[in-house]
Structure 1
């Protein structure tokens, strides 16, 4: 799924409307929204006729979409109460609702909230500022307390459309119906968690002239793109990963990085990390080689701590003209510029240090930060977190890995992720694909095996996930 910014959406809508807005796009949007609302009523109440719907109406076209859709429901026998909660409602939409038999009421005249089968959030659209006024936030909170499911129009009111930030009160929707194209907030946390199920309604926008802001991968695309070995593939064709991770202080990082590389499908793994990690690796991963030699991808940095020769280790790896993954402590030992065949895998704090900004700035606008990281270093950058973003230098579109459960956010997960990415990189895939595929595999494996599994155990399950995908595609 691709997502486009507010500015891009405005251009797309103007192009579709032509020189004069005759309301066609709004009617298409309202028709699609009404269809989703009717389906939700059938699913939740068992019928459409006689159900009770509350519409929260704000100003402009977002409120207009909600009102026109509500008018369609009213003509089907739905009891509709509309309440203006912000600004001046869309005049034509309001008239249409009244003509169809819907009621327009003040907040003081609302029925008991638990009497409603569904609420429609038509308060703020893509032009709204994030956050909600206190009185609107109070009403939204009372709907949540009454367990009334909310269908958001275009986006949940209160979230930031272009960044996914939620700096204040906002709607938490069961379903969000968006029009024409997805917006970044639908794909970026924390707004994504408030979006619920996303339904995209086609209103006739032509996106061919616009480069998307985001390109979100799904599970099927990940499985189709995985570098499956041919029958004739040997260990070198599958790819050899050289792992230089961990230290005497943090031997576990080297162990977990190696688990990721082995279970991510590398043909062979060479471990040149600390001696203290080798006994554990030998006991559990006896196929790992403890000697330098030919590799197709490097993995460096996890658990290094204060490594005196870190600059030299990274410089030597880069000079080998083999791609690599640079993680955690290793990022601080990078040269000024790296090839785009190299992948950096920082979390928000590490990326903030790289850019010389506060962590909060990365968290508030992760898209800008991950692009800045790629531009600053010349490398491909995977920003780890609740939403995992991949940016390439000179490329506008940022890729989004398949999301997973929050169980993966624990110590060691980044180490195993580095190994997964390095395994894909060693197979010959470009750095941006290695990042998306590795991150998506880890997330989907965690979703298939819920619970707080230790990172190295989850890495083992990644091999099971790959095996299941292989069987699905090679019955």
Structure 2
């Protein structure tokens, strides 16, 4: 595989769009989230927060009663009802082993629809055969489990960034989806062979819930950009990873020195400044 190009702040600036006087909440993007569960309700809150803080026009949340109540307590502007969306986020904070038949039917319908779908965690097992534009967001262990279902070898723990990107590209081609492989350096690959590395983050991001925030960020960007196929998801995914990493770095830097401990909500709350700085640099 050739040397891996890095997605940088300059690339991000070209991917962000400043709202205009002619925009409304629909033209800015409506993202739907089917995330969280009674066991992991916080994932719903964090994903919704990530989407709002990235600048989406509307967030619809569809989920169980407990996470719905927590989402509305934190973000009362969220619409807790089905309706029009321009992108979906599914799987965060869910467990495939405890998924009911009705939920599986609804998730499969989303994956067979027209709107782009960000697939995280507990819905990764459903991506085979999907026809919607799909981005999967596994960490290393989830990536290996996904690869196993396609008969692909696991990725060595000591694989280089280039090796991880090659593996992600292989996964993308096997499933017809884009892959955002999380790690100290995130890599993004599309079925058509487009690959990038994203190095905007900080080791302080290795804490519970930050991946749920990232899923919300990606959903917001997808709702605004509405990628029409998996290959078009590449720049969206790389931009989301960069914004998320930069927000984590900013949140950690508030503690001075080499940075300090952060929580997932700290990352979400830093996103508006990162987005604003990106837009201001245009």
Shorter-chain TM band: 0.7 to 0.9
Q: Could you say which residue in structure 2 is the equivalent of 1:348?
A: 140
- Please give the alpha-carbon distance, in whole angstroms, between the structure 2 residues aligned to 1:286 and 1:255: 11
Q: In the alignment, is residue 374 of structure 1 matched against residue 183 of structure 2? A: no
The residue aligned with 2:60 is 270
| Aligned counterparts of 2:179 and 2:268: Cα–Cα separation in 1 | 22
Distance 1:426 1:330 in 2: 19
Q: CA deviation at 1:247?
A: 0.6
Residue 208 of structure 2 corresponds to which residue in structure 1? 411
| Cα distance, 1:362 vs structure 2 | 6.1
Aligned to 1:385: 183
Higher relative contact order (CA closer than 8 Å, sequence separation 6+): 2
Give the match's secondary structure for 2:31: strand
- In the alignment, the residues of structure 1 paired with residue 4 and residue 209 of structure 2 have an alpha-carbon distance, to the nearest angstrom, of 28
**Normalising to structure 1: TM-score of the pair?**
0.52
Residue in structure 2 matched with residue 292 of structure 1 by the alignment: 82
After superposition, where does 1:36-435 map in structure 2 within 5 Å? Answer: 212-305=2-95, 306-309=98-101, 310-339=103-132, 341-356=133-148, 360-361=155-156, 364=159, 365-395=163-193, 397-430=194-227, 431-435=233-237
Query: Of the two, which has the highest radius of gyration?
Result: 1
Query: Shift of the alpha carbon at 1:368?
Result: 2.5
Output the CA distance in 1 between the equivalents of 2:280 and 2:64: 37
Query: How far apart are 1:317 and its partner, in Å?
Result: 0.6
Shift of 1:274: 2.0
Shift of 1:444: 0.9
Structure 2 residue 232 is matched with structure 1 residue 442: no
- SS of the residue corresponding to residue 27 of structure 2 reads helix
Change beyond 3 A, Cα 1:298–1:337: closer
* Pair 1:231–1:362, CA change in 2 (3 A): farther
Structure 1 residue 284 displacement after superposition: 2.0
3-state SS of paired residue (1:263): helix
Contact 2:12/2:278 (CA < 8 Å) preserved in 1? no
- Aligned-partner Cα distance in 2 for 1:284–1:275: 14
Q: Any idea what the Cα deviations from partners look like across 1:35-58, whole Å, max 9, x if unmatched?
A: xxxxxxxxxxxxxxxxxxxxxxxx
* 1:471 corresponding residue in structure 2: 280
Residues matched between the structures, number: 261
Q: Residues 325 and 342 of structure 1 are in contact (CA less than 8 Å); yes or no, is this contact kept in structure 2?
A: yes
Root-mean-square deviation (CA, aligned residues, Å) is 1.9
1:391-449: per-residue Cα shift (whole Å, max 9, x none)? 11122x41122431111111111111010001000002531122111110011112222
TM-score calculated relative to the size of structure 2:
0.86
Report the Cα offset of residue 313 of structure 1.
Answer: 2.5
User: CA 1:311–1:213 in 2, change beyond 3 Å: closer, same or farther?
Assistant: farther
Which residues of structure 1 form unaligned runs of 5+?
A: 6-211
